[in-house]
Each structure stands twice: as structure tokens, then as C-alpha cells.
Amino acid sequence: QPLDKSRFISVASHYLDSPIQNARINISQPIYSQIVNLLKHSCQNEKDLKTLRDHPIIIRHGDHVIAQDTTLADLPTSRNVFLNTELSHEGFSKHYHVLRFHTPDSESVAKFNSWVGKQRDLHGDVDVWHDAIPGRMGDVRVKKYISGHDSGLHHEVFVDCLQKALDSSLISSEVSNRFANPSSNIYHSHFHNYDEINNFLDQKILEFRSVPGILADIIDIGTSYENRPVRGIRIRGAGSQDDRNRPAILWTGGMHAREWIGTSSMTYFLDKILNGYSTDKKLQYLINNLDFHIIPLLNPDGYEYTRINRTWRKTRSKHPQIAPFIGVDPNRNFESHWAESQQQSHPQSDDYCGPFAGSEKIVQNLSNYMKSQPNINGFIDWHSYGQYIIFPYAFKKERASDYDDLLSIANSQNRAMNSVNGRNYRVGSIAETLYSCSGSVVDWAYDKQHVKFSLCVELPGMGKGMQGFMIPPDHITEVGDEAFTGGLDFARNVLYDALKHKPIPIRSFAYPRNDICGLHPQSSNT
């Protein structure tokens, strides 16, 4: 194939960031791996970067010289190329920190976005962790020599050293063995790898089957791109009929690889149900009248890769149309107004929508599973971070026909979650509250599968010591309790709606009946 010079320069501009006297690069397939093998260390300071940019480089394709007697500074740079780095976290993350910019109004949001664009043009290696919105903040991962002083915004260092934050969420394999027993009371004090999560599911099925009154089955929705099974557990009351008219809810985690707290919360939910069913009358009523489908890890390939590159977000799929770039954002790949956002169309982007709708195995798997379960009345896709309870639409600011009921159920869930740790969640449609995006799972579930209560919950990560995506494991149960309380409130309201507002016998739920969705919808107070 003819050499795409611009694409090569885009990739090379990231990897050519170590001081070298003269780089002689022979381009052949695969271009990507050759560059990785040649240059494995990232620049440690601005002086190194300047030194590199001033040194001559030679770029060759076979025997043909493409460029010589030039410098990297003379070549065009490309945004977001860092997202496809194959470098391990060792010797890489220690050179980065995360800056937090305060954006009280629309003008400051515009300044933030302008500054981020400028840094990408200058340095390439910029990762927005939390998009700026008026009244909140924007978080950006950059190299340590980038201070943010030229932004014109009030800012501070949110995560001082990415490597230290990473180390706090990982433990050695020797220590890990002590936490890997699914029946251990310290299991939820550690983030687990894919194999440990699968072992946990197998063990929990056995434990559920020993609890009188509960039926539990393994959910197997298919395999990932790298052939890892994607599994979960379905739970229902033993006295209930197994029919397609019985209402159900679906909770999923791990859509985005780096959002570990979503996956850990799903496994924590399973233990909370297992340990609470025998004594909690409210939980018994919900389980006896609702099917619970819980899938902790939708994106196992990306999740496992975060052991190497902790901030990886996408899948690990390879498509010839986008080589040498790897991966797709699965939450931009569903067949719901797919690829309507120009920003999502670049393969190197963190939120790349894919070469076509449904290109990703995990999107196909989840879509097919939900199509096979027409009784799903409520769906929550659990993410991090930012403290949001948000719902359709994501692709446009026009409100959904069920907006009032969605707002009411989200407000009720916010109050339930707030009662645990005092944290408040912003509530509203995705496009109005956070940002617009196309191809999202909640829009697809709402529009295509007619799941009325289709929500995305962004769990905490903003607070002191939480460190964004790098949330330390000592917050797992704290966040898990908060999320589970909100999840049960959501389940209660979904059931109430499914029963066409017939009274629920157990009246000791957290809130008065006039807060239940469909009655007296309230505007967001967050």
C-alpha cells in the first residue's frame, strides 16, 4: 500500500520524544511496532523535548528518503496520538500529573477548551479526564513541565504524580493472592483482574444456590475481541415464574477500561444481595418481583490492558481501516445516531466511534443480549468519574418524551445516594448536563429497545484523595455502599412503574410514596 506520510508523522511525533542524536527510521509494516521498538522512553522535561526537536532526523521508506536534514519541530503534529501508546506505566506515568481547572461559567469553559487545544498542538500528549462544564471543573493529564499558568484560569494540581496514583491502586501478585478468595471478607479491599473476577462469579453462583428463596444463573453474553468471555449473574426469587413478562433491570460496569470503580461496584452489589437477602424484607420483595441482571465487566480486553497502560479507555480491537491505531470507544459505537459528532471520527481519539456502527464485539454482545431480554424495564450503565446521574438524550439537547419520569427517578436515586456519604450528584439529560455525544448505549437502549428508564451513573472520583480514575482501593466499599443504595432505589421505582403504580406492600423504603417516579416529577436541584 502507498505510504500515508501524514499518518506516519502523526504516530512518529509521539514516539520521537526522547533525546537522541540522530534518528534513522526505516518505515515498513508494521510501522507502529518499529517505532515502539526504537523509542521506548518518554521525555522527562521541556529541555529534553527542545533538544529532540532541534536534532536532525531522517525518515525513510525502504530505500526511499522521505525527509532528511529536518527536525521534528518542522513536521506537523497530530492531536491525541498519545492515546495509542504501547509504553508500560513504568517510566511513563511518573512524568505526568493531572491539572484541575475551575470553570464557573461558559466563558471559562471556552478558555479551558482553547487551552487544551493549544497544548495538543504544541505537545500532542494531552488527555482530558473530565470535560469542563459551567459551574464545575475540567481535569487534564499532561506532562509535568506543563503548568497551566498560561490558561488564564484558576487551577491546581489534582493528581501530583500519575505513577504514585497508579501504584496505590495496584498491589504485588504475592499480596494479591491474599485478596483473591471470593469468600474473603477483604475481597472488596482490592481491585481485581479479569481472571479473579471470573472466579468470583463462579464462587458467587455456588453461594447464591445455597440461599433459600433465590435462584441465580450465570449470564454469558459472548466473547471479546481477544476471546475473553463476558459474563455476569442473573438473580430472581425462587418463587417467581421464569417468564418473559416478568420485569427486570440490567446493571453493567466496565464499559470504559480505566473506570475500575464501576466494575468493583458491580461485584460488591452481588455480595450485598447475597448477604442481605435473608434478613432484608425490602430486598426480598425486590428480588421476588424483579429479575436482576448484573454484568460487572463489559470490556475485559481494555480492562486487562489497563494493567499496562492505566489510563486506557477503549477496546483493544484492530481494524484495517484505522491501522496502526487500536481500539474504539464502545460507548460511541452503538447504532443510535452513530458518528454524528465529527470529534468522534478520528481513530486516534479517545472517544473514537469506530469504522462502523456495532464494529465492537462488546457492543454486539450487549445489544444481542438486551434484544433477547425484552422484559428489561430499567438499565444503568455504571461509569466514573464525576458524580452524575444522567439519561437520554446524549445526541441532542431536545428532551426525551419520558423526560419528567426520568428526571424523577434520577432525583430519587440522587437523594438515596446522598443519604450514605453526603455526596450530591448532578441530574439531567446527558446533552444538557454534561456534553453531547452520539452512539451511546443509553440512547440506544431508550430508542431502539424502548427501555424507559435508561441511565448512566458516573461514580465519584473528584473528592480529596480520590484521584479521578485512579481511585484508591480503600474507597471501594464506601462508593459501593453509596451506589448500591441508589441502585435499590432505582429498582424500587422501576418496579413501581412496571406495576402501573400499584402500591408496593413494603412501605419502609427510603422516601415517601409521592417521590416515586411518575408522581409529582420535580426539577433538578443539583
Count of residues in the chain: 526
CB 123 within 8 A of CB 73: no
What strands lie across the sheet with 291-295, from one edge to the other?
214-223, 229-237, 291-295, 248-252, 376-384, 453-459, 388-391, 426-429
164 conformational bin, left if phi > 0, alpha if psi -120 to 50, beta if neither: alpha
Question: Which candidate in 196, 259, 360, 458 is catalytic?
Answer: 458
- Alpha carbons within 13 A on the beta-carbon side of 316: 22
**Closest-CA residue to 170 (of 315, 309, 327):** 309
Alpha-carbon distances of 278 from 114, 253, 330, 482, rounded to whole Å: 55, 26, 38, 21
CA dist., res. 26 & res. 448, Å (int): 49
User: Which residues lie across from 494 on neighbouring strands?
Assistant: none
Task: State the cell numbers at 93.
Answer: 506515568
Number of helices (H), then strands (E), belonging to the chain: the values are 15, 15
What strands lie across the sheet with 127-130, from one edge to the other?
127-130, 136-143, 96-103, 155-159
- The yes-or-no answer on residue 458 being catalytic is yes
CB 389 within 8 A of CB 430: no
Catalytic residue positions, numbered: 458
